[in-house]
């Protein structure tokens, strides 16, 4: 793996960084799957190398780790604050005197100023950087202006805060990432909802950035407290996560979205929900004529209207089953709906359906609409509504890809048909041109439009269809049935084209392509078992089965790790260097170690390591000359590699 981006990315100036060695280091990077920067510092090589499938930044300094995590997770808020930050000696003095910060974003903001408004980026130990020749304020401005590119580059990077040995031990083994979710937690994949413990490498999950393949599924044994969260609109469905697991949260409606740990969540916070956006072009599937030469199967006309086709599929998902064709079971008072379904089948496929009324039905409360066509049955099974015999007529239904990936304009017609078949506007018995939403105790609507199904798979599929249509669906378990209901007046108006008068629900709202819903309850409970997480390339979040946006988490780190200390409070001793040398000799992966000349590491040559000496100016990547014409003093940097460099000519 060689090469670098056209312009060098810099997240922050950092004392002891390898910025001026980048041209040499980039040529020394071999082909790899997992890249781990053990002594991360300013992260110069990570930011400027080509992306790997798995990338890890590690540093023992909790302040710089917090800075990188905030840049990755809440970079827009940090950048906005830095753009309005003056280059000021007084401000630097105030920050130096401050030891406590309100949140991680403020802590990152303060540390960025400490590194980039002081001489040599020495933080609290150094003074205010100024000069009569250099414009330090302009350098600071350019650094902030380029942070948006850094934020984009950090997407998908795992950020650790570990001792070097612990980091190397972790990433040499299979235990690579943090694990945050219990095994029964559902994840939204292209194959439907799957338990996180059942997800395999190569499965594709839905994220706000699109479909992403799973690079790894990892687990660890955990014993201790976990956080249990209930969200408005999800009934008694709960999300359980480790205390450090993050969710996208707003403190209130007007505040900006930030990633917060589960242990920091409070009732009244708004949590982000979303769903997949993948859609097909809306083209209706081609009808295949499976009629044999001397067969009796009826030929089907190719349907032309995708909206009416989706509407009919919605009715079938609610009231239909397969029986030598399509059979719809309607209530005794739904004769007009029966005629509507019969006419739709005739219009779309040019075949006739029969309407049966008592006494020609199984009981006196049912009207049947039957269309005897094996071709139509095969067509619906392939593209619209699947069926699992082992689960029964109702529980075995699930939706096929054409419905799941249709455009929202088509899908809302499917939902409309399903609600008319399996739904009801409570407490009004019959739909009318005008219905009223009443209040209970002057606070809440007691009316709602509810659809009911015995199929859990189809219930969650319809829930996500409604999310794709930017509706406000709610989910509730009721004995063996699952309800999808809508209490927002605007939803009912859109779905049924009827006039609803009453209070508009304001607690759940759409913004920034997310449905924001208030957290209603946060509890703690004891957990003893395995926790899981998945690794994804280039992104750090994915959707759970109920639409909640889950962070692809980093391992926890102490909030006070080396906090408010000089970044080199603990320098490497001779013993530390010897331990590092002895440890990396037995490392199974490829290592590129950058050091100053030292006899300690000369023993690596006896182990067959490659050694390269690089001479650079102490002050710049360009070998400047002083006023007498002599070259300024140069420093020698040594690269040790346990592999043959991919480019023989590095220097």
DSSP line for 456-498: HHHHHHHHHHHHHTT---EEEEETTEEEEEE--HHHHHHHH--
**CATH code of the domain in which 216 resides:** 2.170.16.10
- Select the highest-mean-pLDDT range: 2-16, 294-308, 404-418: 404-418
Same domain, 596 and 501: no
3-state secondary structure of 385: strand
Same domain, 197 and 154: no
- Write the CA distances from 241 to 70, 181, 185, 578, integer angstroms: 21, 5, 9, 40
Considering 132, 157, 176, which residue would you say is the last residue of a domain? 176
Q: Averaged over 638-642, what is the pLDDT?
A: 87
- Select the highest-mean-pLDDT range: 19-28, 311-320, 474-483: 311-320
Rounded Cα gap, residues 635 and 614, in angstroms: 8
Q: Averaged over 297-301, what is the pLDDT?
A: 79
Using N-to-C axis directions, what is the helix angle for 136-145 and 147-154, rounded to 10°? Answer: 40
**Domain contains 295:** no
In the chain, the percentage of residues whose pLDDT exceeds 90 is 41
Looking at the structure of the chain, the number of domains it has is 4
Give yes or no for a contact between 465 and 417, defined as CB atoms under 8 angstroms apart. Answer: no
Q: How confident is the model at residue 643 (pLDDT cuts 50, 70, 90)?
A: confident
What stretches of 134-226 show up as alpha helix (H) in DSSP?
Answer: 136-145, 147-154, 164-172
**Domain contains 392:** yes
**Domain contains 450:** yes
If we measure between CA atoms, which residue out of 481, 409, 431, 471 comes closest to residue 451?
Answer: 481
Q: Is the pLDDT of residue 7 over 70?
A: no
**Domain contains 643:** yes
Phi/psi for 41 (5° steps) reads: 55, -125
Q: Averaged over 448-471, what is the pLDDT?
A: 90
Same domain, 463 and 600: no
The CA-based dihedral angle spanning residues 599, 604, 605, 609, taken in that order and rounded to the nearest 10 degrees: -140
Q: Is the pLDDT of residue 424 over 70?
A: no
- Select the highest-mean-pLDDT range: 61-75, 90-104, 338-352, 634-648: 338-352
Q: How confident is the model at residue 51 (pLDDT cuts 50, 70, 90)?
A: confident
The distance from CA 98 to its chain's CA centroid, rounded to whole angstroms, is: 35
Give yes or no for a contact between 399 and 466, defined as CB atoms under 8 angstroms apart. Answer: no
Q: Compare 109 and 443 and report the one with higher pLDDT.
A: 109
Same domain, 413 and 445: yes
12-26, 381-395, 477-491, 615-629: which range is least confident on average?
A: 615-629
Q: Averaged over 254-282, what is the pLDDT?
A: 94
3-state secondary structure of 641: strand
Same domain, 194 and 128: no
The pLDDT of residue 563 is: 39
Could you say which DSSP state residue 288 is in? P
Rounded Cα gap, residues 418 and 450, in angstroms: 10
Q: Compare 394 and 521 and report the one with higher pLDDT.
A: 521
The neighbour count for residue 282, using CB atoms within 10 Å, is 14
Give yes or no for a contact between 590 and 30, defined as CB atoms under 8 angstroms apart. Answer: yes
C-alpha angle 388-391-393 in degrees, rounded to nearest 5:
80
189: tokens are: 């994949």
Q: Averaged over 227-241, what is the pLDDT?
A: 93
The pLDDT of residue 623 is: 43
Rounded Cα gap, residues 132 and 117, in angstroms: 15
Give yes or no for a contact between 259 and 247, defined as CB atoms under 8 angstroms apart. Answer: yes
50: tokens are: 């080509």
pTM for the model: 0.66
Contacts of 200 (CB under 8 A, 6+ apart): 214, 217
Mean pLDDT of the chain: 82
**Domain contains 345:** yes
**CATH code of the domain in which 495 resides:** 3.10.28.10
Sign of the four-CA dihedral 638, 641, 642, 648: negative
Contacts of 633 (CB under 8 A, 6+ apart): 617, 618
Phi/psi for 57 (5° steps) reads: -110, 130
298: tokens are: 């009826």
Same domain, 262 and 138: no
165-223 pLDDT per residue, tens? 878 876 764 333 345 789 999 999 999 999 999 999 889 999 999 999 887 777 777 88
Same domain, 9 and 143: yes
Q: Compare 536 and 505 and report the one with higher pLDDT.
A: 536
Q: Averaged over 65-80, what is the pLDDT?
A: 91
Spatial strand order of the sheet with 320-322 comes to: 320-322, 326-331, 366-371, 354-356
Same domain, 318 and 460: yes
**Domain contains 139:** yes
Rounded Cα gap, residues 502 and 488, in angstroms: 10
Long-range contacts of 332-341 (CB under 8 A, 24+ apart): 332/358, 332/364, 332/365, 332/366, 332/367, 334/367, 335/367, 337/420, 337/421, 338/367, 338/369, 341/312, 341/315, 341/369
524: tokens are: 């703690």
Give yes or no for a contact between 393 and 320, defined as CB atoms under 8 angstroms apart. Answer: no
Rounded Cα gap, residues 359 and 103, in angstroms: 71
3-state secondary structure of 57: strand
Contacts of 130 (CB under 8 A, 6+ apart): 89, 136
Q: Compare 445 and 528 and report the one with higher pLDDT.
A: 528
Same domain, 78 and 161: yes
Same domain, 22 and 104: yes
Rounded Cα gap, residues 168 and 419, in angstroms: 56
Q: Is the pLDDT of residue 434 over 70?
A: no
Give 525-566 as a 3 state SS string: EEEEEEEEEEECCCCCEEEECCCEEEECCCCCCCCCCCCCCC
318-328 pLDDT per residue, tens? 999 998 899 99
Rounded Cα gap, residues 188 and 545, in angstroms: 5
Rounded Cα gap, residues 276 and 206, in angstroms: 6
Considering 449, 477, 506, which residue would you say is the last residue of a domain? 506
Rounded Cα gap, residues 262 and 240, in angstroms: 9
Could you say which DSSP state residue 363 is in? S
**Domain contains 286:** no
Rounded Cα gap, residues 31 and 647, in angstroms: 12
Give yes or no for a contact between 533 and 181, defined as CB atoms under 8 angstroms apart. Answer: yes
C-alpha angle 260-264-270 in degrees, rounded to nearest 5:
60
55-59, 367-371, 423-427, 471-475: which range is least confident on average?
A: 423-427
Same domain, 29 and 133: yes
Rounded Cα gap, residues 437 and 425, in angstroms: 10
Domain extent, residue 596, equals 572-651
**Domain contains 28:** yes
Same domain, 577 and 537: no
């Amino acid at each position: 793996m060689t090469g670098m981006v056209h312009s060098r990315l810099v997240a922050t100036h950092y004392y002891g960084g390898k910025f001026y060695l980048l041209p040499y280091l980039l040529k020394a990077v071999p082909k790899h799957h997992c890249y781990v920067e053990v002594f991360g510092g300013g992260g110069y090589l990570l930011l400027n190398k080509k992306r790997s499938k798995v990338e890890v930044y590690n540093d023992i300094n909790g302040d710089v780790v917090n800075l990188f995590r905030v840049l990755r997770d809440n970079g827009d808020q940090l950048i906005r604050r830095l753009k309005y930050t003056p280059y000021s000696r007084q401000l630097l003095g105030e920050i130096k005197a401050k030891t406590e910060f309100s949140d991680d974003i403020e802590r990152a903001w303060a540390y960025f100023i400490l590194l980039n408004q002081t001489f040599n980026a020495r933080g609290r130990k150094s003074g205010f950087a100024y000069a009569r020749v250099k414009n330090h304020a302009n350098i600071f401005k350019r650094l902030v202006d380029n942070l948006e590119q850094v934020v984009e580059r950090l997407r998908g990077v795992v950020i650790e805060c570990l001792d070097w040995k612990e980091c190397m031990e972790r990433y040499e083994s299979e235990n690579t990432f943090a694990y945050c979710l219990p095994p029964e937690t559902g994840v939204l994949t292209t194959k439907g909802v799957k338990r996180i413990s059942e997800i395999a490498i190569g499965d594709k999950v839905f994220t706000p950035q699109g479909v992403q393949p799973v690079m790894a599924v990892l687990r660890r044994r955990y014993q201790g407290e976990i956080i249990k969260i209930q969200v408005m609109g999800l009934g008694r469905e709960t999300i359980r996560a480790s205390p450090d697991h993050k969710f996208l949260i707003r403190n209130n409606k007007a505040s900006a979205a930030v990633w917060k740990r589960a242990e920091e969540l409070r009732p009244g916070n708004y949590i982000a929900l979303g769903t997949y956006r993948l859609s097909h072009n809306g083209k209706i599937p081609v009808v295949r004529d499976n009629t044999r030469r001397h067969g009796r199967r009826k030929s089907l006309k190719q349907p032309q209207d995708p909206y009416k086709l989706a509407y009919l599929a919605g009715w079938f998902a609610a009231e239909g089953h397969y029986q030598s064709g399509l059979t719809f079971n309607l209530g005794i008072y739904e004769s007009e709906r029966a005629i509507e379904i019969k006419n739709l089948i005739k219009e779309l496929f040019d075949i006739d359906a029969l309407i049966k009324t008592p006494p020609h039905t199984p009981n006196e409360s049912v009207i049947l609409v039957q269309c005897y066509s094996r071709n139509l049955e095969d067509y619906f099974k392939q593209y619209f509504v699947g069926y699992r015999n082992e689960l029964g007529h109702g529980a075995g239904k699930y939706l096929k890809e054409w419905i799941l990936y249709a455009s929202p304009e088509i899908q809302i017609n499917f939902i409309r048909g399903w609600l008319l078949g399996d739904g009801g506007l409570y407490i009004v018995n019959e739909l009318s041109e005008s219905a009223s939403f009443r209040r209970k105790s002057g606070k809440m609507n007691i009316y709602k439009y509810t659809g009911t199904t015995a199929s859990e798979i189809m219930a969650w599929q319809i829930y996500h269809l409604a999310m794709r249509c930017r509706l406000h669906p709610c989910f509730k378990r009721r004995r063996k049935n699952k309800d999808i209901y809508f209490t927002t007046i605007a939803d009912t108006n859109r779905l049924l084209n009827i006039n609803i008068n009453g209070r508009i629900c304001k607690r759940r709202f759409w913004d920034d392509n997310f449905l924001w819903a208030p957290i209603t309850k946060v509890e703690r409970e004891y957990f003893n078992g395995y926790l899981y997480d998945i690794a994804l390339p280039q992104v750090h979040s994915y959707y759970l089965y109920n639409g909640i946006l889950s962070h692809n988490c980093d391992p926890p780190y102490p909030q006070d790790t080396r906090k408010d200390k000089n970044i080199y409070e603990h320098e490497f001793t001779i013993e530390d260097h010897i331990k590092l040398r002895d440890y990396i000799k037995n490392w199974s992966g490829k290592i590129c170690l950058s050091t100053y000349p030292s006899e300690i590491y000369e023993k690596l040559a006896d182990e067959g390591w490659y050694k390269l000496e690089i001479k650079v100016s102490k002050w710049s990547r360009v070998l400047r000359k002083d006023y007498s014409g002599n070259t300024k003093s140069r420093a020698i940097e040594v690269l040790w590699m346990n592999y043959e460099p991919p480019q023989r000519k590095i220097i």
